[in-house]
Amino acid sequence: MSALISADDVVQYLPLVAVTSGSALGVLAVLWLVRYLMADAAHRASIRQAVRIRLRWKRLAPMLKLAATDRTPTAMDSLSTTDGKPPKPRTLVPPLKVRHDAYGVIARAGCLPGVGLEEYQKAAPYLADAWRCTRVAVTQDTPSHVLIRGVRLDPLTTATRHHPTGRAPEVAARWDLGVDEYAQPVTVDLTQVPGVTVAGLPGSGKTSLINRLMSDWAPSPAVQFACADGKVTTAYEGDYAHLANRMFAFVGDDLEAANVLFRRLVKLRRDRVAAAPSMLGGPDMWQVGPSESWPLVVLIVDEAHTYFRDHKGSDKETKRLAALAAENARLVEDLVKKGRAMGILVVLATQKSTGDAIPTFIRDVCPVGLSFAQKTSDAAVAALGEDIRNWPDADPVNLQGRSYVGVAAMNHPTQPGFLRIRTPLVTSDDSAEIAHRTAHLTQDPATLLPRIPPRIGLGKAAPDEQSGPLAA
Ligand SMILES: Nc1ncnc2c1ncn2[C@@H]1O[C@H](COP(=O)(O)OP(=O)(O)O)[C@@H](O)[C@H]1O
Ligand SMILES: [Mg+2]
């Protein structure tokens, strides 16, 4: 049993069992009680809430104008009136079925003449009060029914944990992010997506989010990872160290090492273009999907500003760093602009996504953008675009405080507006375990391509075509 049975619980439901015992209803009641007692505290609270809602619906619905009045006597009504007076109008209450989950209830209510989606949506704030919910949302379910989602606990401020399963995902490039403010799962399809930006104040949950992505995708041999972590000075330390054996390349904050890695990936992209007709049968990897022999290459660039920010000064060393940063930006731009069809995805995380942190020519070609907490509206606009000013409720400036660590705003993939998402925490122990179990799947994707004969008579290769040594 996942929770202790309190005396209150037993007393509350004993009469029900007593009254109905001995009948088929009694059996059902006992089953129901067992289910209740087996549930954890959050589910029990939701079960009680669902029972209250069902019991009070008949009174509540007319008070909220969610009932209809039928003034036309039916044939039966006319027969049953003996005093010659017209029969009384009947109040029709919409049928209501209520399910529950850990966060609250999901009710399916019928529509009546004059009582449809609009009326339910108008009544939502009062339903929230009556049902003791933090928020209530109403959507059309079928033409004659609406779905009413009521959350008792705020899913955004309820921290959650995710334990990676260790099984290869069934669908390629599907990113499970977490739950929205109504506790509905949020996933983003990253097929055909060349770049993702993740912004947010330090400590707001960016690296954890990427950690989850890697842990979920690591069991697939059709995905290979490379990482540049600008937070660490030497490779294989810091937030990604425990995932290192599932990466074919990993560099720290050294601009030159990052430069070598980015060049190597641009070379991979070009080599893939040459190999695509024979290996894929066409110029677009997404037409056939990623595979073990042509894996989706995910490049993580965390603390991305480290690699791109401008270095001002006239001394030799500063000039060298400025040149490297400019070239890094150009190489990553190449990957984001041209890597999609070749199966290359770049995930860039940074504190601010203003132009000095991620050059706008890179940021603006990343179709998916998320932002955890931000300090200023300007930073929120840089991360999510101008449109966020029209949706103040979703502005990541409001995501301040400990309870919002792990909560991000994202452009809604299918509707106008923004979603707020509670992402779960994946501990480094869990992801280390996954990386350890899947380390044997790590392959350098360049080694999977047929050997391309050296080009003769073309002179010296362009800088981004020279392959560098594997950054340790
Ligand atoms: N989704 C989450 N849920 C709860 N706590 C989280 C979540 N993500 C991060 N944290 C907490 O915040 C800390 C910092 O997270 P991290 O991802 O490293 O932030 P960032 O990369 O934005 O600096 C983590 O060590 C963890 O304790
Ligand atoms: Mg981080």
Using the CB atoms, write b or e for 393-413: b if 16+ within 10 Å. ebbbbbbeeeebbbbbbbbee
Which value, to the nearest 10 degrees, does the dihedral of the CA atoms of residues 231, 237, 243, 245 take? 130
**Hey, how many other C-beta atoms are within 10 angstroms of the C-beta on 462?**
12
Closest of 15, 8, 73 to residue 45, by C-alpha: 8
User: Which ligand is located closest to the Cα atom of residue 351?
Assistant: 1
422 has pLDDT over 70: yes
User: Which ligand is located closest to the Cα atom of residue 231?
Assistant: 2
**Are 104 and 43 within 8 A, CB to CB?**
no
Identify the band that residue 5 occupies on the pLDDT scale cut at 50, 70 and 90: low
Identify the band that residue 20 occupies on the pLDDT scale cut at 50, 70 and 90: low
Which pLDDT score is estimated for 6? 52
User: Which ligand is located closest to the Cα atom of residue 156?
Assistant: 1
Which pLDDT score is estimated for 459? 43
Residue nearest to atom 8 of ligand 1 (CA): 205
Which pLDDT score is estimated for 436? 96
The residues lining ligand 1, judged by C-beta closer than 6 Å to any ligand atom, are 159, 200, 202-208, 239, 405-406, 423-425
Identify the band that residue 18 occupies on the pLDDT scale cut at 50, 70 and 90: low
User: Which ligand is located closest to the Cα atom of residue 212?
Assistant: 1
Identify the band that residue 14 occupies on the pLDDT scale cut at 50, 70 and 90: low
Domains of the chain listed by start with CATH number: 55-73+87-153 (3.30.980), 174-465 (3.40.50.300)
Cα distances (angstroms) measured from residue 367 to each of 189, 195, 304, 364, 411: 11, 6, 17, 8, 10
Q: Which atom of ligand 1 is found nearest the CA of 424?
A: 1
CA of 452 to the centre of ligand 1 (A): 44
CA of 207 to the centre of ligand 2 (A): 4
466 has pLDDT over 80: no
Residue nearest to atom 9 of ligand 1 (CA): 205
28 has pLDDT over 80: yes
**Are 144 and 111 within 8 A, CB to CB?**
yes
Identify the band that residue 10 occupies on the pLDDT scale cut at 50, 70 and 90: low
| Tens-digit pLDDT profile for residues 213-245 | 999 999 999 999 999 999 998 766 889 999 999
415 has pLDDT over 90: no
φ and ψ at residue 99, rounded to 5 degrees: -110, 170
Which pLDDT score is estimated for 333? 96
| 91 Cα distance to chain centroid | 44
Which of 74-78, 82-86, 315-319 is modeled with the greatest confidence?
315-319
CA of 134 to the centre of ligand 2 (A): 31
State which of 425, 426, 428, 431 you would mutate to test the pocket of ligand 1, scoring each by most atoms of that ligand within 8 A of its C-beta. 425
Identify the band that residue 467 occupies on the pLDDT scale cut at 50, 70 and 90: very low
Which pLDDT score is estimated for 27? 82
Which pLDDT score is estimated for 465? 41
| Tens-digit pLDDT profile for residues 358-405 | 899 999 899 999 999 999 988 999 999 899 999 988 999 999 999 999
Using the CB atoms, write b or e for 226-244: b if 16+ within 10 Å. bbbbbbbeebbebbbbbbb
Mean pLDDT, the chain, rounded, equals 88
Both tokens of 187, joined, read: 């996933």
Directed axis angle between helix 7-20 and helix 24-38, to 10°? 170
464 has pLDDT over 50: no
Which pLDDT score is estimated for 23? 74
* Better-scored residue on pLDDT, 310 or 316: 316
Q: What integer is the mean pLDDT of 97-112?
A: 96
Which pLDDT score is estimated for 16? 60
Q: What is the DSSP string of 70-98?
A: E-SPPHHHHHH--SSPPPPPEEEPPPEEE
3-state helix, strand, coil in the chain (%, to 5): 40, 20, 40
Residue appearing with tokens 């049928």? 95
Q: Which atom of ligand 1 is found nearest the CA of 211?
A: 17
CA of 203 to the centre of ligand 1 (A): 5
Helices first, then strands: H and E counts in the chain = 12, 16
| Tens-digit pLDDT profile for residues 398-409 | 999 999 999 999
**Percentage of residues of the chain with pLDDT beyond 70:** 88
Q: What integer is the mean pLDDT of 182-190?
A: 93
Which pLDDT score is estimated for 458? 46
Listed in sequence order, the residues at least 6 apart from 134 whose beta carbon sits closer than 8 Å to its beta carbon are 128, 151, 152, 153, 154
| Tens-digit pLDDT profile for residues 124-183 | 999 999 999 998 989 999 999 999 999 998 999 999 999 999 999 999 999 999 999 989
Which pLDDT score is estimated for 81? 61
Residue nearest to atom 13 of ligand 1 (CA): 203
75 has pLDDT over 70: no
Which pLDDT score is estimated for 357? 85
